Structure 1
Amino acid sequence: MGITPQSLYAAFVSKADLYREALERYRQEEGAAAGRNLNSEGHVVDAIARLLRISAHEFSLPGRPKGCMISTAVLTCAVENDAIARHVTALRDQTLAALEARLRRGIEEGELREHTDAGGLARFIGAILQGMTVQAQDGAGEADLLPIAEFAIAEVARHRQAAA
């Protein structure tokens, strides 16, 4: 690339700042698309289904890094990198909060059963997305990831409010 360490540090101060900037760019581009799918009009089960199916596709595209950068970023690190680890944890927490908020909205709008555990279901969906990321990084393709998404969609659909 022809970038010297001096110019890199002049632009980003540290490797941690460069990494934060890369995460932010990823979040604004890839994360924004996921957020649009999650918050799109229509039934919450359909929104979750879109999110999971699109993730199965996007996580396995040829010629691109596999999975979600934020899902598996800095899972373990040295003590000196605790600040960046906390930052990434906060990003993952934002994803869980967005999932939970969408599920709560579905409960409030009568799409999901009143006693649905929105927090637990959000964590379940988050775990599915993280697991799909790991599997994609290990070489799983879209055909491998879609059944995982479909099982998760079926679980979310189990909480659908019965028609009156």
Structure 2
Amino acid sequence: MDQAVTQSPAIDDIVADFELLDEWEDRYRYVIELGRSLAPLADDDRTEANKVRGCASQVWLATEQDGAGPDAVLCFRGDSDAMIVRGLVAIVIALFGDRTADEILKTDAEALFQRLDLRSHLTAQRSNGLRSLVDRIRADAASAIGDAPTAATG
């Protein structure tokens, strides 16, 4: 296996690193560094369809699906025009990326955000944007399974 490709840290590594940092200023710097570690998003992926609604900053999320149904594996690529938000995108991708649709829908992102104490250190706009990003990923997973919410029920 070729290890030359840089890979984002695993979510467990991110949590461990977060727990080593006592000061929020250091944690903010780490979140920004995580954003810098994201692979660049191709211009072709910066489309209206990939834009995440509900974010104050511009956020794009490209989803690739391998298979169908609950066992479909979803991979995500994302980007933002704001460095801190780009870091939050990296955390969310680390949490949900390369998982099955079923695993994504069972993952409690809110528990992770509480463990990292993110919500209390983000502005209301960023917190809402983070929720929008998670909602978008969950919608993509539901769509892969075939249970996408319709406009009438969503």
TM-score normalised to structure 1 length:
0.33
Query: TM-score if structure 2 supplies the norm length?
Result: 0.34
Q: Which has the higher contact order (CA 8 A, sep 6+)?
A: 1
Of Structure 1 and Structure 2, the greater strand share is in: 2
